[in-house]
Amino acid sequence: MNRCPKCDVTLVTNSLICPLCHNKIELKEKNSIYPELKPKTKAYNFLIKLPLFITLCGIIFSLLINYWVSKEISWSIFVVLGIISFWLTFSQGINRAHGFMRILFAEIIALIILSVLWDLLTGFHKWSITYCLPFLCIAYTITFLIIRIFTRYRRKEYIFYTYINSLIGLLPLYFIIGGKLNTLWPSYLSVCTSLFALIFLFIFNHHTLETEIERRLHI
C-alpha cells in the first residue's frame, strides 16, 4: 500500500497519482521478510539523564548546605569526589557489565572510610556521619534501583549488593539512638530509604536473597 503525503491517507492502489488530490503518491518500499529493528535509545537516554540530573542537584545541594552550616567548603568535597568516581565507574559499567555491582559497592565503602578518616584527622566535626554516610547510602541505593530497572543486570548479584548497601544505610540509626548527631534529617532519610529497599527485597525476592546470602557468606 502507498501513501499520499498531502491527504495523509494510505491508498490501496497501484496508481502513482492520488485519486483525491491528484498529487504524486509516495511509494512504500517493498516489505522485508526480516522484522524492523528499532534502536532502544529512549530507555538508555533516560538512564543517563536521570542520574546526571540527580548528581548535579546533589552537588549544588551539598555545597549550599556545607557553606550555610559551616561557612566553608569541607565535607561537600567528598560528595563531589564521590559523584566523579560514580560517573567514572558508571562509564566502565556500561561497557563492561561483569563485576559492575561489586565495583560500585567497593566504591561506597572506600568513600565512607575516607570521609570518616578525614573527619577524624581534622578534629571530628561529625560531618562524615551526619551527611556523607547517609547521602552516599541514599545515592547508591537509588543507583542500584536504576540499574535494575533499565539494564539486564544479573538478578542475583544485584539483589545481594542492594541488600548489603541497605544494611549500611541503617548505620545512621545507631548514631540517632546514641544521640551523637545534631542534624538528624539526613540520617532519617537514609534509614527510611534502606528500610523500603529491604522490605522490597524480602517481599519480592526473598528466596533469591536467602540463597545468595548463604552462597556468598557461607551461613
pLDDT digits (tens, 9 = 90+) for 81-139: 767 776 766 666 555 555 667 777 887 888 888 888 888 988 888 888 998 899 888 88
SS3 call for 34: coil
pTM above 0.95, yes or no: no
Close Cβ partners of 189 (under 8 Å, ≥ 6 residues apart): 134, 138
Beta strands in the chain (DSSP E): 2-4, 9-11
Q: Which sequence spans correspond to the domains of the chain?
A: 1-31, 46-217
pLDDT at residue 191, as a whole number: 94
Mean pLDDT of 6-33: 69
In whole angstroms, give the CA distance from residue 104 to residue 90: 8
In whole angstroms, give the CA distance from residue 193 to residue 191: 6
